[in-house]
Structure 1
Amino acid sequence: MKKKQAAEAPVQKNDTVTVTFEDLTHEGAGVAKVDGYTLFVPYGIPGEKAKVKVVKTKKGYGFGRLLESLETSEDRSVPACPVYYQCGGCQLQHLNYGAQLQFKQKQVQDALTRLGGLDNVIVHPTLGMDDPWNYRNKAQVPVGMSNDGKLEAGFYQKRSHRIIDMEACAIQQDENDKAVQTVKEIAGKYGIKAYDEKKHRGTLRHVVTRHAQNTGQLMIILVTKGPELPNKKNIIADIRKAIPEVTSIIQNVNPKKTNVIFGDKTIVLWGEEYIYDTIGDIKFAISARSFYQVNPEQTKVLYDKALEYADLRGSESVIDAYCGIGTISLFLAQKAKHVYGVEIIPEAIADAKRNARLNHMQDITDFAVGKAEEVIPWWHKAHGIRPDVMVVDPPRKGCDEALLETMIEMKPERIVYVSCNPATLARDLKILEDGGYQTKEVQPVDMFPQTTHVECVANIVLHE
């Protein structure tokens, strides 16, 4: 019996076609159809008619490159960044900000409906920023060598490891841009060579800067291949002279062949080990490798919403199952009787305990190292702790299945789920709903304007 041949695609590689975009993917690419065949085209906007060159075809879909907009959408915007179309840092600068917020609300709604089967959950309009630029308080910038032997620093070109040298980034705080450029110039002055990832040699791998918006403190981290940093004293002196507001200069050593930024060894070259910042009334100590939200203004919006959904009256026990350095835990402790935080990273728990002391909350908080799905049952068995409210803020992969089972078994009255990935949020909400919970509402928050990323907070209650 002859094998049935697959129907040939109506377009072939290098064809030029005229299309009308119908939708956006979760990565922000335009979606168009040619005789039922789907084309994904970066920078396409729904409603626009455009000429597109087909660059790749697969059995059921293909990819195109936008050649010319024939009918331009009112949602199209001129990118503020001169290297936007080369750099991989942002994906939505060509879309005006109101349309970005609608896109993110739809992204969350579509994930809940398609992946979670949750058709009746209210997804509120995305909470955006008045000024959606220059918001990032942390820069992590790879360093390379140009063809003429000079240091360059910038983000990687899309789908490559070629550095796009830049003087300023439209979504970084100005203080970080200035610090990165200054370090690049000073390191170049003293002949410091950039790390070559192919040959595994050179010195400077990354420049990382952290700026505390509410205190003005600035940390500069030089990530090097080895512990040696030629002309170290001169480099430190020049940085301090050029940037008087710097409070901390750190060296991190990463000798591994990896694209992970930080290594295990961190050395204070000058100043303090920590900088300090505030979110609302809570003060945080931030080290070189601490996880700390990069958009301070929207972090306050996100945490206020989490606090609202927790609905604390002062008598509740709360468990924060991915507590990090205690950011959400301490926010909740303002209104709870006691907050228990658990996190698998020991350094983060050490920071959480330090932050609790910093805010005089050590008596109403407890932090433990370990897997949440193991520590929480132990708390219950050994100490009789049964939470009234549980808060989870997992990584992009979502909650561990064992943790979801633990939450269902312990039956807290309310669960607040802070998510950075609508797809895994939808999956986990379905499991919780099958376990006796109801998702009342989801609030998207735009933590990362000009990019496709969206955070959201889900309000989940035990089904009566």
Structure 2
Amino acid sequence: MLENLKKDDVIELVIDDIGAESSGIGRFNGEYVVFVPKSVPGDTVRVKIRKKKKKYAESTLLEIIQPSPFRIEPECEYFGTCNGCKMQHIEYAKQLEIKQSIVKNAFERIGGFENVTIPTVLGSEDIYYYRNKLEFSFSNDRWLTSEDMLIENIDKSFAVGYHIPGFNEKILDIRACYLQSLTTNKILNFTRDFFKPKGTSIYTTKTHSGYLRFLTVRKSIYNKGLMVNLITYDENAELVNEYAALLRQEIPEATTLVNSITQSKAQVALANNFNVIYGDGFIEEKIGGYRFKITPNTFFQTNSKQCEKLFETAATIADLGKEENVLDLYCGCGAISLYVSAMVKSVHGVELSNESIDMASENAELNGVNNCTFEAMDVKDYLEKLTASPGGEKFDVIILDPPRSGIHPKAAEYLLQYEAKKLIYVSCNPATQARDVALLKEKYNIISIQPVDMFPHTFHIENVVRLDLKG
């Protein structure tokens, strides 16, 4: 009986599902949901109830009595402490099934759609070392793992790695990450070994002072370009030049070094000012035969190989024609615009960021594409202007690739007013995508859905939806 289940009770469960925050789901007496961290569907576990609510309980995993056939040994020594690869202990085929369920649940529970068929997720060719960008943070407040705590007088004053969830300043000191490349790990450890012995100060929000802030590495699959971006609070030319000389000597794979300067209190790895220490100050990537210039602040899909698969999926689903005019909303640096440019009559890209629009225009010129134009404007405001001018531009297809928050409700209203024949909605968040598609179902039918896995071992999933105007 549910009433008999109390805090600190120890029970056995079979895990039959997994939640979006990585905890497995077991059901006490076949009904009452109990969340179990670090468990895998198919595990039989012994757990201790630590928090009981009306509809669910949270527990602590005490023992895996019988491991799931889907359970594997994680590659990374930091798994379970680092917040990055939450499904690294689950075989990849099962990860894809879980992501397929995430999309289905979003459209049924959030979107209110019935009998939605979600095809098999298009998996990633590489499940390790697949990212083209990694960001590391510096901290003078190192998070200690249980192994670290066994080391007497361990130094906690210098760390470079990843944030611990719920702790703004604490950083897990990382020596190896399986997300980008072995060269990235060399750069990470070289950077620590260079600055730590010098006692170089680290920025802290507590005093708004300190030198080191972030280390970002961007890597091209196309031409082996590799950018190291050292983000600091202020300039120290002598120190950076010393770091640069040794970096070039020890890690010649690093083709360019940038020192970005930011005194913003926001703890984000972006800076408006940067100095190119050596190299070009940018790298180039190639997607679908098109070259893209990537500067320190450029937003670009972080899995280049899967990015091509994502764009190919969107273009195939769209079934684009040579006489069609396309509107690309939230176009960023023009990646999707250029990818589809040869398939259609024209593309017009809209994006809020002036810097991204400048980069999109530069990328079009770089590739000799002359049927793409770009405009810096808020998408909602652009759509309002578009619907207010019935005799103006007429687009047959509208592509949307918004941020995780999805589209503004007013933007959905304007899309309904405009009545483009086809909408192609690319999203990194099926929950907000399902919400937005529900806003559009008054005039649009779902024709196709296709999830694409850009981020193996995480719960993140890209999803492409085609909507056709009714009638």
Say yes or no: TM over 0.5.
yes
Q: CA deviation at 1:8?
A: 8.8
d(CA) in 1 for partners of 2:186 and 2:365?
33
What CA distance in whole angstroms lies between the structure 1 residues aligned with 2:383 and 2:112?
29
Structure 2 counterpart SS, 1:325: coil
Deviation at 1:321, TM superposition (A): 0.7
- 1:369 pairs with 2:376: yes
Alignment pair present for 1:42 and 2:49: no
Q: State which of 295, 317, 321 in structure 2 corresponds to 1:287.
A: 295
**Counterpart selection for 2:467 from 454, 460, 464:** 460
Give me the whole-angstrom Cα distance separating, in 2, the residues matched to 1:73 and 1:385: 56
Q: Are 2:196 and 1:202 equivalent residues in the alignment?
A: no
1:27 and 2:35 aligned:
no
Does residue 169 of the first structure (1) align with residue 177 of the second (2)?
yes
2:87 matched to which residue of 1? 92
Does residue 432 of structure 1 match 2:427?
no
* 1:262, distance to aligned residue in structure 2 (A): 1.9
- Corresponding residue for 1:4? none
SS at match of 1:374: helix
Cα deviation for residue 382 of structure 1 reads 8.9
What are the equivalent positions in structure 2 for 1:210-225 lying under 5 Å apart? 210-225=218-233
Aligned to 1:236: 244
1:413-435 Cα shifts (integer Å, max 9, x gaps): 1111001111111111111112x
Gapped runs of 5+ residues in structure 1? 1-6
Query: What whole-Å deviation, never above 9, does each CA across 1:309-354 have from its counterpart, x for those lacking one?
Result: 2211211100001100001111111211110000011111111111
Question: Relative to 1, partners in 2 of residues 1:355 and 1:28: Cα closer, same or farther, differing over 3 Å?
Answer: same
Match of 1:62 in 2: 57
Percent identity between the aligned chains?
33
SS in 1 for 2:167: coil
Q: Are 1:410 and 2:404 counterparts?
A: no
Alignment partners' CA distance in 1, 2:167 and 2:33: 25
Check whether the contact 2:259–2:275 (CA below 8 A) recurs between aligned residues.
yes
Contact 2:24 2:35 in 1 (8 A): yes
Deviates more, 1:395-404 or 1:9-18: 9-18
The answer to whether the aligner puts 1:260 opposite 2:243 as a matched pair is no
Report the number of matched residues. Answer: 456
Aligned to 1:250: 258
Q: Please, which of 55, 75, 78 is the counterpart of residue 80 of structure 1?
A: 75
Q: What is the distance in 2 between the residues matched to 1:121 and 1:8?
A: 33
Deviation larger for 370-379 or 286-295? 370-379
Q: Trace 1:140-151 onto structure 2 (pairs within 5 A).
A: 140-145=135-140, 147-148=154-155, 151=158
Aligned pair in 2 of structure 1 residues 139, 301: CA closer, same or farther (>3 Å)?
same
| Deviation of the 1:229 alpha carbon | 5.5
Instruction: Tell whether 2:453 aligns with 1:446.
Output: yes
Q: Distance in 1 between matches of 2:138 and 2:255?
A: 23
Q: Distance in 2 between matches of 1:197 and 1:81?
A: 30
- How far 1:92 sits from its partner (Å)? 0.3
Could you list the runs of 5+ residues in structure 2 that have no partner in the other structure? 143-153
Aligned-residue CA RMSD (Å):
2.0
How far the C-alpha of 1:27 sits from its partner, in A, is 2.0
Confirm or deny: 8 A CA contact 2:72 2:89 kept in the other structure.
Answer: yes
Paired position in structure 2 for 1:344: 352
Residues 233 and 46 (structure 1), Cα distance of their counterparts in 2 relative to 1, 3 Å cut: closer
Q: Which residue of structure 2 lines up, in the alignment, with residue 3 of structure 1?
A: none
From 304, 312, 321, the counterpart of 2:320: 312
Are residue 115 (structure 1) and residue 110 (structure 2) matched? yes
Cα shift at 1:179: 2.0
Structure 2: how far apart are the matches of 1:144 and 1:449? 27
Distance 1:10 1:319, change over 3 A: farther
In 2 relative to 1, CA 368–10 (structure 1 residues): closer, same or farther, beyond 3 Å?
Answer: farther
* Deviation string, structure 1 residues 155-193 (Cα, Å, up to 9, x no partner): 123443432222211222223222222222222354422
Is the contact made by 1:9 and 1:59 (CA closer than 8 Å) also made in structure 2?
A: no
- Look up the match of 2:366: 358
Report the CA distance between 1:263 and its aligned residue: 3.2
- Quick one: structure 1 residues 441 and 129, their matched pair in 2 at CA, closer, same or farther if it must change by over 3 Å? same
Amino acid of the residue matched to residue 318 of structure 2?
A: A
Residues 226 and 255, structure 1, Cα contact 8 Å, conserved in 2 = yes
Change (3 A) 1:156 1:377: closer
Q: Check whether the contact 1:343–1:371 (CA below 8 A) recurs between aligned residues.
A: yes
**2:145: which partner in 1?**
none
| Matched AA of 1:305 | T
Structure 2 counterpart of 1:137: 132
Alpha-carbon distance in structure 2 between the residues aligned to 1:59 and 1:166 = 39
Distance in 2 (CA, whole Å) between partners of 1:12 and 1:229 is 61
Q: Relative to structure 2, which stretch is displaced further, 289-298 or 121-130?
A: 121-130
Q: CA deviation at 1:450?
A: 0.5
1:9–1:422: structure 2 CA closer, same or farther, 3 Å change rule?
A: farther
Deviations 1:83-106 (A, max 9, x none): 101111111011110100000001
- Hey, what's the Cα distance between the residues in 2 that align with 1:324 and 1:85? 34
CA distance in structure 1 between the partners assigned to 2:44 and 2:254 by the alignment: 50
Q: Does 1:15 align with 2:17?
A: no
Distance change >3 Å, CA 383–CA 266, structure 1 → 2: farther
Which whole-Å CA distance do the structure 2 matches of 1:233 and 1:48 have between them?
Answer: 53
